[in-house]
Structure 1
Amino acid sequence: MNKVILVAGATGDLGSKLCKELIKRGALVRAIVRAESNSASVSLLRGMGVEIIQAELSDVNSLVAACKGVCCVVSTLAGLHDVIVNAQSQLLQAAIKAGVPRFIPSDFCTDYTQLQIGDNRNFDLRKTFQSIIDQSDIRATSIFNGAFTHVLKYDIPLLNTKEQQIEYFTGKLHWRIDFTTVQDTAAYTAAAALDESTPRYLRIAGTQISPSELADVAKQLFGSNFYLKEWGAMEAFSAYISQVRQQQPEGEHELYPVWQQMQYLYSMFAAQHTIPDNDRYPGIDWQSIQSAFK
């Protein structure tokens, strides 16, 4: 009998790719979508063979019904406290009531277990949900993929194509940062969702690359030398982030305010995967940094 996997957040980039990977592996996939979900995205899912269930994440009875017969719930939801904590908690309770044995929360990010509260607001929300799920009667598995590779296309300080420089913090020139493409994260997550023996945490990295190594890659990609620029101490950067955050209280209601973007950069240099679990599921052709620019 094919396993049934329920996906929340299936209309997003990661969620839709996850559904495709699950179907490729023989799973029966259900997707919870809201009434206001993008119709084109919903049609795409339906065309893949995904069973569409329209329900609000606040409607516990509908969620319980959606979870019936499911072997694993995977959340790829994105948002602030109302989504990452409140909505996921509703989904979690529904899964427990329906007897679902396993839950993969939306923890697709840097390994926040290595970070302190306050280092990254969006990761703190995931830590809050972590404490909730760890007190529940369900087996949870968080998948940490580092940063998504495509962020390097956004001219972040780490790869500043406008100034043609690679920026790093004091003592971090050879610090290897974890990057994984959305596609590879989806493929790995699909395999994990179908695996009944997953541990509490899985850590993956399609590429681990240092600022010094990234300078060589940038030269190959863009045909010119990139200057390595040291920013200063991470402690000073953290203090600056706190100052900017205090000056922009409206950012507390935004998913990616400027100071949150800075916190993501800080996190890249504050946590890393020492031994990735890439080899747990063979057959994934891990994509390189260069693939993000094709």
Structure 2
Amino acid sequence: MKKKVILVTGASGYLGSRLCRELFNSGHHVKAFVRRTSDVSSLPPPTDGGSSGGTLELVYGDVTDYPSLVQACSGCHVIFHAAALVEHWLPDPSRFIAVNVGGLKNVLQAYKETGTIEKIVYTSSFFALGPTDGYVADETQVHPGKFFTTEYEKSKAVADKVALDAASDGVPIVLAYPGVVYGGGKVTTANTVANMLVERFNGRLPGYIGQAKERFSFSHVDDVVNGHISAMDKGKLGERYLLTGQNASWKEVFDIAAMITQTKKPSFGIPIFILVFYGWMSVLLAKITGKVPLVSPPMVRMIKHQWAYSCDKAKAELGYHPRSLEEGLSEVLPWLKSSGSIKY
């Protein structure tokens, strides 16, 4: 295998850090693009060549700062653009467009200026395709754009069009659409499942959220990482690949968690109006504390819809093999317990 020089944006994030480690273990030279203030504890040590010959270099900057990005791209063969602002609410919603759209535009411009990039693997999101109320969608779905439950969803839908336009202009880009990513690792706001399980087992979320009909597509982080690397190796230029997994409701997630831990299932569902009230109170508190709330009114709007998708295309063309929720949660729950985050 030819050793490639690979830039990973968002390298200190939940998905990005796991992607860097896997690329490093595969023997590539990884340039981890991080901010000076980023927590890089989940990345392999810089300049440490493993037995497989992988190396990792920290390069500093921000996707919204074009000069730092184009400098980081120098000499690279592949860009994994995984940097994104993944939140359901922020006090300044304009940041979503600035980072999620502006950052992608900067990556595309850097590709043109660098001249050595063979492929860009862009991490989009299932939100970019829109809700799937009453059916299961595939890569042919385009966001209708009539409404957006969150500013994050809107920014990813706008960025999706930017990426597809770039592909039609000949940019060598492959688009990856993970589902709700979960697994071990950082318990960031992007690791929604881990956060919900922590709230559930600590008694702060005593009932089910949403209803049984409201399904999301859950993707284990390691499966998503493998899907990204397969997209680099096998992905067809300009194509979209859903890196999703089992379609299930949050009720099913909590029921599977109860079965694995041999604990009692929640006995009631939390009414939407209570979640809305809790969301507004959480946002008011967040404006005082500066801490992003677990629940917000946009998040409640989002859980009222279905987000169910098929990953058959990725299975056929990339060899993508998503694990079941039971298998994935059987790993996550003991990890949360061993870290002291939950007890059961």
**What is the TM-score of this pair, normalised by structure 1?**
0.75
Which of 53, 60, 75 aligns to 2:66? It is 60
Which residue of structure 1 aligns with residue 158 of structure 2?
Answer: 128
Q: What displacement does 1:18 show?
A: 0.2
SS of the residue 2:58 aligns to = strand
The one-letter amino acid of 1:29's match is: V
What is the aligned-residue identity percentage? 18
Structure 2 distance, partners of 1:124, 1:270, is 15
Which residue of structure 2 aligns with residue 145 of structure 1?
Answer: 178
The one-letter amino acid of 2:157's match is: K
Whether contact under 8 Å (2:175, 2:240) holds in the other structure is yes
Which residue of structure 2 aligns with residue 162 of structure 1?
Answer: 203
Q: What displacement does 1:142 show?
A: 3.2
Which residue of structure 2 aligns with residue 103 of structure 1?
Answer: 120
Which residue of structure 2 aligns with residue 244 of structure 1?
Answer: 280
Whether contact under 8 Å (1:7, 1:29) holds in the other structure is yes
Which residue of structure 2 aligns with residue 118 of structure 1?
Answer: 148
SS of the residue 1:173 aligns to = coil
Structure 1 distance, partners of 2:257, 2:76, is 45
Whether contact under 8 Å (1:166, 1:214) holds in the other structure is no
What do residues 79-119 of structure 1 show as CA deviations (whole Å, max 9, x unaligned)?
Answer: 33332233332222112222435333342x43331245430
The one-letter amino acid of 2:76's match is: V
Structure 2 distance, partners of 1:55, 1:214, is 38
Whether contact under 8 Å (1:173, 1:210) holds in the other structure is yes
In the alignment, structure 2 segments of 5+ residues that lack a partner are: 49-53, 86-94, 132-145, 184-191, 335-344
What do residues 139-186 of structure 1 show as CA deviations (whole Å, max 9, x unaligned)?
Answer: 4333222212353333469957627855244xx424443212223222
Aligned residues: 286
Verify: 1:72 aligned to 2:78, yes or no: yes
Alpha carbon RMSD of aligned pairs, Å? Answer: 3.9
Structure 2 distance, partners of 1:148, 1:15, is 12
Specify whether residues 134 and 198 from structure 1 end up closer, same or farther in structure 2 by C-alpha distance, changes over 3 A only: closer
Q: What displacement does 1:198 show?
A: 5.2
Whether contact under 8 Å (2:8, 2:82) holds in the other structure is yes
Whether contact under 8 Å (2:4, 2:29) holds in the other structure is yes
Which residue of structure 1 aligns with residue 310 of structure 2?
Answer: 275
User: Mean Cα displacement is larger for which, 159-168 or 202-211?
Assistant: 159-168
SS of the residue 1:6 aligns to = strand
Specify whether residues 126 and 174 from structure 1 end up closer, same or farther in structure 2 by C-alpha distance, changes over 3 A only: closer
In the alignment, structure 1 segments of 5+ residues that lack a partner are: none
Which residue of structure 1 aligns with residue 262 of structure 2?
Answer: 223
Specify whether residues 231 and 162 from structure 1 end up closer, same or farther in structure 2 by C-alpha distance, changes over 3 A only: closer
Higher fraction of helix: 1
Whether contact under 8 Å (1:8, 1:76) holds in the other structure is yes
Structure 1 distance, partners of 2:213, 2:63, is 44
Whether contact under 8 Å (1:158, 1:166) holds in the other structure is no
What do residues 62-87 of structure 1 show as CA deviations (whole Å, max 9, x unaligned)?
Answer: 53343245343112223333322333
Whether contact under 8 Å (1:177, 1:269) holds in the other structure is no
Q: What displacement does 1:10 show?
A: 1.2
Specify whether residues 272 and 30 from structure 1 end up closer, same or farther in structure 2 by C-alpha distance, changes over 3 A only: same
Verify: 1:263 aligned to 2:269, yes or no: no
